[in-house]
Amino acid sequence: MAGRNAVKTAAQSTKKSTKTGGAKAGIARTSGPRGKRAELAAERAAEILRLLHEQYGDARCALDHNSAWELLVATILSAQCTDVRVNMVTPKLFATYPTPEAMAAAPIEALETLIRTTGFYHNKAKSIQGAGRVIDQHFGGRVPQTMDELLRVPGAARKTANVVLGVAFGKAEGVVVDTHVFRITRRLGLARGETPQKVEQELMQVIPRERWIGFSHELIHHGRAVCEARKPKCSQCMLEPLCTAKDKTWRS
C-alpha cells in the first residue's frame, strides 16, 4: 500500500507542477529538441523565401488592370481560368462597361457574351454585375480597402480580396492561396492544410507579414515556370535541395 501511495503522490505532484509551472515548462521546451526543430524549420523557411525572391523578385500580378476595380473584376474572372485568357477578354469588357455603375446596369446577356470564354460565364456575369451594384450603391463607386468590406462584394471571396488588397492597395491582410501556392507550399512542407483557407492560416504563421504579398507572386511564377502540377521540373528547381515532396521527378 505504501508503494501505491508513493506512486499516487508522485503522479499528483507531477500533474500539479504541469499546471502551475506552464511558463517554466514552455521555456524548457524552446531550449530542448522541439525548440531546435522549430529553429531549423524557421531557418529553412527563411532560405526558401530568400531563394524565391532572388529568382522572382520582380514578379508582379499577371492580370492586366488600370485600377482596383479592373483588378477586382479580372480576379473574379480568373477563377478556373488562365490569366492569359482573362487578359484577352477584359480590354473589350472594360471599354464597354468601364465603371462599377456601368457594369451594374449592363444587360446580363451582354456580359455573358463578353466573358464567355473564361468559363462558368453565367455565374461570373452575375458576380461582376453584383460587384458593380454593391460598390456603386454602398461604397460610392470605389473598391473598399478592408477585408470585411470586400467580402461583402459579390464574387470576392478571401483569395480575391487578398489579391485586390495586396496588389491595388499594398495591404497585407493575408496570403493569396491559388492553385500554385496551395500545391507548392504543401510540397515544400510549409503547410499541410487540406483547404486553401487552412493553408493560408498556416502560411501566415511561418511567412513574415512584410513578405505575404511578394511571396504569393513569386510562388505563382515558380509554379508556372518550374513546379508544375503533373511533371515538376525538379532538376531545374533552386528549391529542390529543400524539398521533400513525394512526387519529385529528380533528386540531388
Q: Mind listing the pLDDT tens digit for each residue in 74-110?
A: 999 999 999 999 999 999 999 999 999 999 999 999 9
- Amino acid at residue number 139: F
- The hierarchical CATH code for the domain 179-242 is 1.10.1670.10
CATH 1.10.1670.10 residue window(s) in the chain: 179-242
Look at 137 and 41; give whichever has higher pLDDT. Answer: 137
What share of the chain in percent tops pLDDT 90? Answer: 82
Q: Residue 172 pLDDT more than 50?
A: yes
- Residues marked active site are found at 159, 178
Cβ neighbours around 17 below 10 Å, total: 12
Q: What gap in Å lies between CA 81 and CA 207, rounded to an integer?
A: 27
Residue 45 has pLDDT above 70, yes or no: yes
Identity at 55, one-letter amino acid code: Q
pLDDT at 194: 97
245: CB partners within 8 A, 6+ apart:
187, 188, 232
pLDDT of residue 35: 63
Q: What pTM does this model have?
A: 0.82
Calculate the CA 238 to chain-centre distance. 21
Distance CA 181, CA 138 (A): 33
Within 10 Å of residue 231's Cβ, how many Cβ atoms? 8
How confident is the model at residue 41, as a pLDDT? 78
- Give the per-residue pLDDT at 37: 57
* pLDDT, position 4: 41
Q: Enumerate the CATH 1.10.340.30 domain ranges in the chain, comma separated.
A: 68-169
Residue 171, Cβ neighbours under 10 Å: how many? 16
The CATH class given to the 68-169 domain equals mainly alpha
Statement: residue 32 has pLDDT above 60: no
pLDDT in tens, 182-203: 999 999 999 999 999 999 999 9
